[in-house]
Amino acid sequence: MKTANKTVTATQLVKDALTKAKHFADYNIFTYLNEEGALKRAAEIDAKIARGEEVGKLAGVPFAMKDNFLSPEGETTASAHILEGFTSPITATAIEKLEKEGAIMIGRTNMDAFAHGSSTENSYFGPTLNSHDRERVSGGSSGGSAVAVALDIVEFATGTDTGGSIRQPASFNGVYGLKPTYGTISRYGVVAMASSTDCVGFFTKTPDDMNLLMEVASGQDPKDLTTLPDYYNESEAKKVKKIGIIKDFDNDSVDLEIRQALKDKCEALKASGHEIVELEMPALKYALAAYYIIVPAEIASNLSRYDGVRYGFRSEDSANLEALYPNTRSEGFMPENKRRIMIGNFVLSSGFYDAYFLKAAKARTLIVNEYLEAFSKCDAILTPVAPNPAFKLGEKVDDPVSMYLEDVMSVPLNLAGVPGLTIPAGKTKAGLPIGLQLVGPRRSDKSLIEFSKELA
Amino acid sequence: MEIKREDILHLSNLSDFSLSEKEIEKLGGDLQGIIKYISQLDELNTDDVEPTYQVFEMENVWRNDEILPQDATREQLLALTKEEKDNQIKVPKVL
């Protein structure tokens, strides 16, 4: 990526990014533009360069930040009404690390409120338009971040992926999107959705940029006790020779052009001396059902903190405290937030816990084991990201189950904690980007990024 | 299972929502569809399978029992609330 130096200043890079952001304003990508703050940081970096001082690996590189990362610049709302007015006094560890290397946040990007959704249509600020077809969705939940990179406004963007929220919008917009191994990047200062599957990751235009960002942002954080001991920078990219294909994913519910793109890649891999291994993973069929039990349960718990008392939106004119909570939560949450909280409370409530939550936790074990077995037969798995390319705005928003089915091939990874990388794989006849995802065993992130270069 | 109006009201109560009639009706249908979908897990044989609640592969991450400096001060946190009085958060009457 382009960094600042004596001839190309950080100020110029930031100004260019801000100009492009404004040019594409009608795509509804940003919930906040950090003009003043970004230019101030740029001037500081330019002064350092002028003095001949050392600047970081990302000096002057403009980036976009999903609106669920905490920082004092602008309101952190997770694109939800209930967080309106919340300006964070703290900064997320991942953002701190990027900024320490000189990266400059130029704006907060639109998302499905609290990252609940697969189209960015559940945002309190309205949907973000697809970068290739303005009548279609950007994907979600990190839709704004994906489009900011696809339209070349910024060099990279941050995202979060709980069930596909980086990989699916990356595929809908033709960019790279990585969901790292669970625990690779600190979640400190990121609005929690489902703590056992939430991952921080990135959107980039190249695999090398992805590698650089992982070098900077990964690592153990004393403020997030679920971060793994440092491994990324010490790990070697292993050569991927055997590629697994999941037989069950090649069915009529998946778009023909996506299935063809996958077949074409397999042929190309065979031609270059790779071995293709067919995998049977029968429990994956149940991953989506397990996901939509486990994740809402964690959501119901994590989102119980929003009550209008300590921060964010508070409903006005409540007669007493007892009424303040439901009034604030009813006015402040989007319909999809309410569905997920209620489903979470349903699967956790007495009488249903064993039949739903415990059953899903057992299904999760079977899914984890299927991946372990699969990776004893192959080095990486190649699958579609979603069953279809970007769909029309409004097409699925009133039918929650059909929207959930978008996630059918992305959620199994989150339940198992394994990494997944969306790679661009051409376009449909109608000109919509197609993405495929590379999946590897835990801690194989670097191998996947390196291997993706062979698939470009 | 069939989701009845009283189930929606019960879940609404557990979730600390006060729903309008229109929402109760819409959510009733939505939740029925979602529960029907997730109920397909019944088909999966999970006899003798232990549950998985986290995929972190680590246990007992200990830290020293000492108070570390915090990122935000009391004043900064109090400034986030709608109403503050005498260094405390003010809410509507409790009783």
- Please give the residue of chain B at the shortest CA–CA distance from A346: B11
Please report the pLDDT score of residue B60 as a whole number. 78
Query: Which of A82, A343, A397 should one mutate to test binding to chain B, selecting the residue with the greatest count of B CBs within 10 A?
Result: A343
Q: What is the mean pLDDT of residues A51-57?
A: 96
Whether chain B has a CB inside 8 Å of the CB on A402: the answer is no
Please report the pLDDT score of residue B95 as a whole number. 79
Whether chain B has a CB inside 8 Å of the CB on A426: the answer is no
- A–B interface: beta-carbon pairs under 8 A: 166
d(CA A441, CA A231): 14
* Contact flag A321-B58 (C-beta cutoff 8 Å): no
Is A112 in contact with A94 (CB distance < 8 Å)? no
Of B34, B37, B41, the CB nearest to A339: B34
d(CA A277, CA B66): 52
The angle that helices A287-302 and B21-38 make with each other, rounded to 10 degrees, is: 140
Whether chain B has a CB inside 8 Å of the CB on A339: the answer is yes
- Please give the residue of chain A at the shortest CA–CA distance from B61: A225
* Contact flag B52-A361 (C-beta cutoff 8 Å): yes
| Residue A192 pLDDT > 80 | yes
Q: What is the mean pLDDT of residues B8-20?
A: 96
Cite the DSSP H helix spans in B1-92: 5-14, 21-38, 74-78
| Residue A36 pLDDT > 90 | yes
* Contact flag A363-B95 (C-beta cutoff 8 Å): no
Please report the pLDDT score of residue B69 as a whole number. 87
Is A199 in contact with A184 (CB distance < 8 Å)? yes
* Contact flag A345-B63 (C-beta cutoff 8 Å): no
Integer angstrom CA distances of residue A209 from A3, A35, A93, A324? 12, 24, 19, 47
Query: Which of B3, B23, B30, B70 should one mutate to test binding to chain A, selecting the residue with the greatest count of A CBs within 10 A?
Result: B30
Please report the pLDDT score of residue A443 as a whole number. 97
Average pLDDT of chain A is 97
Select the more confidently predicted residue: B61 or A190. A190
* Contact flag B80-A300 (C-beta cutoff 8 Å): no
Query: Which of B21, B46, B76 should one mutate to test binding to chain A, selecting the residue with the greatest count of A CBs within 10 A?
Result: B46
| Residue A55 pLDDT > 90 | yes
d(CA A295, CA B36): 17
* Contact flag A318-B58 (C-beta cutoff 8 Å): no
Where do the domains of chain A lie?
A: 10-217
- Please give the residue of chain A at the shortest CA–CA distance from B79: A311
* Contact flag B34-A292 (C-beta cutoff 8 Å): yes
**How many angstroms separate the CA of residue B14 from the nearest CA in chain A?**
7
Please report the pLDDT score of residue B56 as a whole number. 86
Across A97-118, b (16+ Cβ under 10 Å) vs e yields bbbebbbbbbbbbbbbbbbbbb
Burial classification of residue A246, based on how many CB atoms lie within 10 Å of its CB (0-12 exposed, 13-18 middle, 19 or more buried)? buried
User: Which residues of A have a catalytic role annotated?
Assistant: 66, 141, 165
Q: What is the mean pLDDT of residues A44-55?
A: 96
Contacts of B31 in chain A (CB under 8 A): 339, 342-343, 346
Burial classification of residue B21, based on how many CB atoms lie within 10 Å of its CB (0-12 exposed, 13-18 middle, 19 or more buried)? exposed
Identify the H or E element spanning A18.
Answer: helix A10-23
Of A86, A91, A343, the CB nearest to B80: A86
pLDDT digits (tens, 9 = 90+) for B30-76: 999 999 999 999 999 999 999 999 998 777 778 889 988 889 999 99
Of A182, A307, A401, the CB nearest to B55: A182
Of B38, B43, B94, the CB nearest to A292: B38
pLDDT digits (tens, 9 = 90+) for A329-341: 999 999 999 999 9
| Residue A159 pLDDT > 90 | yes
* Contact flag B80-A304 (C-beta cutoff 8 Å): no
Whether chain B has a CB inside 8 Å of the CB on A320: the answer is yes
Whether chain B has a CB inside 8 Å of the CB on A116: the answer is no
For the A10-217 domain, the top CATH level (class) is: alpha beta
- Please give the residue of chain B at the shortest CA–CA distance from A343: B31
pLDDT digits (tens, 9 = 90+) for A127-147: 999 999 999 999 999 999 999
Integer angstrom CA distances of residue A310 from A113, A313, A319, A379? 19, 9, 18, 48
| Residue A115 pLDDT > 80 | yes
pLDDT digits (tens, 9 = 90+) for B73-91: 999 999 999 999 999 999 9
| Residue A287 pLDDT > 90 | yes
* Contact flag A363-B40 (C-beta cutoff 8 Å): no
- Please give the residue of chain B at the shortest CA–CA distance from A319: B92
Is A444 in contact with A374 (CB distance < 8 Å)? no
Of B11, B51, B89, the CB nearest to A309: B89
Task: Give the pairing type, strands B84-85 and A199-204.
Answer: unpaired
Say if pTM beats, i.e. exceeds, 0.95.
yes
Please report the pLDDT score of residue A54 as a whole number. 93
CATH topology of domain B5-43: Histone, subunit A (1.10.20)
Q: What is the mean pLDDT of residues A288-316?
A: 97
| Residue B1 pLDDT > 90 | no
Contacts of A222 in chain B (CB under 8 A): 63
| Residue A425 pLDDT > 90 | yes
- Please give the residue of chain B at the shortest CA–CA distance from A401: B34
